[in-house]
Structure 1
Amino acid sequence: MPSACTPMAANDLPDDLVELGYVAEAHGIRGWLKVQPHAADGAVLLGAGRWWLRRPGERDAYVVEIARSREHSGSIVAQPKGIEGRDAAEALKGLQVWVPRSAFPVPQEDEFYWVDLIGAQVTNLQGEALGKVSGLLDNGAHAVLRVTYPATDRRGAPQDAERLIPFVAQYVHEVDTAGGRIVVDWGRDY
């Protein structure tokens, strides 16, 4: 690991780290990184002056200060301070890029970060519980809520089932991220 990457033990990391992408490769010969963001909009990565890099499956991380960054062909290229040369940048290939949720820009009205929706309880207009948001999908036209709920299989054994609910104004009537609650116009039997 390059010496410019400060190691941090898991218990010293910020509590609100969110994985936003991964180091795909070195960019150029001067130590720049090419990062593939998980979201189409890399604004959070571009605005963060510090990234936490972590190997997949590990709890400890390395901190790097970002001198400059910009969008480049659907990815983000960044120059970490102290990373000199292509070999040092290549040593970071495959690491996940994390940023604290507290560093995210404040979203506009009626805009939400996906990370803030995961775990929210979903109910319909009739007050029936539909489950909990376990993730989101992007189908190209709009986001889709993945809502899991307890069910049973054909033999009566417990299992999780999933509802897919389009995250569009036609179906989503209220989003309370602080309260962890989403109200939708969706039937239990859909």
Structure 2
Amino acid sequence: MAERVCVGAITGAFGVRGEVRLKSFCATPEAIADYAPLYTPEGRGFSLRLTRPVKGGFAARLSGVDSKDAADALRGIRLYAGREVLPALPEDEFYHTDLIGLEVIDTGGVRLGEVRAVHDHGAGDLLEIHGPGLGSTVLLPFTNDCVPTVDLAAGRLIADPPEGLFG
């Protein structure tokens, strides 16, 4: 499992004094501040203080970011928290990062592909599956009916997809 988990992204500058506009990927959006320090993919660390809610997220102060130019330079950067500061999840819940890369096999043992991404469009998570023989990726609902087993230790999940989804 990844040492760090993506918890948010900087979407741009907010104002002219170095605040950033921050989008949280946390189940409780303001909890992102509890997981600081946050890190860029390159390992640069920031302390974080949310200053106020704004449309689409929060205005926030990051350590070492004290100008609009410095905040603008961070636009699009994803922020990661150390796994050790994140809450333990119940047995039937998973961090998206832990699902990406898992092998997908059906209930008969046939390999369907691999999880390429996890999408949440508001009605529940969808697993994006890419695999041999697929003309394009397949979106599999991440429900107990469609994915009865997730075995992180074995690096796979067992899928029982709706009829015709994979071909």
Normalized against structure 1, the TM-score is what? 0.67
The Cα of 1:91 is off from its aligned counterpart by 4.7
1:135-146 paired onto structure 2 within 5 Å: 135-146=117-128
- CA RMSD in angstroms comes to 3.0
AA paired with 1:136?
V
Relative distance call for 1:77 and 1:176 in structure 2 (3 A) is: farther
Matched, 1:126 2:108: yes
CA distance in 1 between counterparts of 2:124 and 2:110 reads 25
The answer (yes or no) to whether the contact 2:7–2:81 under 8 Å persists in 1 is yes
- Higher-Rg structure is 1
Which residue number corresponds to residue 26 of structure 1?
13
Correspondence list, 1:1-190, <5 A = 16-28=3-15, 31-37=18-24, 39=25, 41=27, 42=29, 45-53=32-40, 60-66=42-48, 68-69=49-50, 72-84=54-66, 86=68, 88-151=70-133, 161-186=136-161, 189-190=166-167
* Pair 129,71 (structure 1): closer, same or farther in 2 beyond 3 Å: farther
For residues 77 and 111 of structure 1, do their structure 2 counterparts lie closer, same or farther at Cα, with a shift above 3 Å needed? farther
Identity of aligned residues (%): 30
Q: State how many pairs are aligned.
A: 162
Gaps of 5+ in 2: none
**1:121 and 1:78, CA in 2 relative to 1: closer, same or farther beyond 3 A?**
same
Q: Which has the higher strand share?
A: 1
